[in-house]
A = this chain, B = another copy of it.
């Protein structure tokens, strides 16, 4: 376990990851609302916002674009991922080795674990290799902990999310990213269940500014250490504004209300939807 206080992907122990692996995981459809977002440069520009503590991309995007931005954002290299052309049981290909991630200048590595999938055992063993490899390079490990599969009717049920954060702790993640379980009490339980592993909430699909900031405020109050967000930032015409708001809530202990006022994000939202 690496102390996040000193980690390049955190600021004062808080984290705001700009996630941008949608081109692999979801394909072109996620860039339709704001077509310019298909260009990784636009996202790296967005990532230069002070609020962003790391940018999460796949190997190819890191190779091609990160060298121009390495002084301006930290790299969280997502090591596995699979297209949604895949129709098989939930699984994720390991697309980058830990050694190569380190060579590309990664400040941390990310890995998706689909607990409950028929590939859970195999994925957990891949995680073992990546986690132990990351330790050799002193790289923090962020687990995308997303229970899936035949045994799960509802993958945001509180008990499932608390199990998801616990998997991060038990298997050796420094940070675990989960979906918001829907209410602050469940989030608090999930954070407590993670012990010393930090919990960050997943931004999910795009919502309006107020709803989004309120959820983040709830999550932070419940013990979360931050947020990993993609569409909820980059599918807006004005990502700066929502990042201003998120910075207030995550790093400045502001309420959503205060953040909205300070950033003027709400007004922007009106034209965004």
Where the two chains meet, the residues of A that have a C-beta atom closer than 8 Å to any C-beta of B are 1, 21, 23-24, 27-29, 31, 38-40, 58-61, 63-65, 81-83, 85-88, 91-97, 100, 115-116, 118, 120-122, 124-125, 127-128, 131-132, 135, 147, 149-152, 159-160, 162-163, 166-173, 189, 192-193, 195-197
Contacts and interface: CB of A to CB of B under 8 A. Distances in A.
Contact of A85 (B24, B58, B151, B173): B151
A70 to B, nearest CB: 14
A39 B192 CA distance: 7
How many copies of this chain does the complex contain? Answer: 5
Given A24-B166, A95-B124, 12 more contacts: A23-B193, A27-B166, A31-B193, A38-B166, A59-B128, A60-B172, A83-B115, A85-B147, A85-B163, A86-B151, A87-B151, A97-B128
A124 to B, nearest CB: 4
B24 A120 contact: no
Given A93-B124, A124-B93, A150-B87, A24 B170 contact: yes
Contacts of A29: 159
Contact of A38 (B64, B92, B193): B193
A63 to B, nearest CB: 5
A169 to B, nearest CB: 5
A23 B164 CA distance: 10
Contacts of A162: 27-28
A95 B120 CA distance: 11
A45 to B, nearest CB: 14
A144 to B, nearest CB: 15
A20 to B, nearest CB: 10
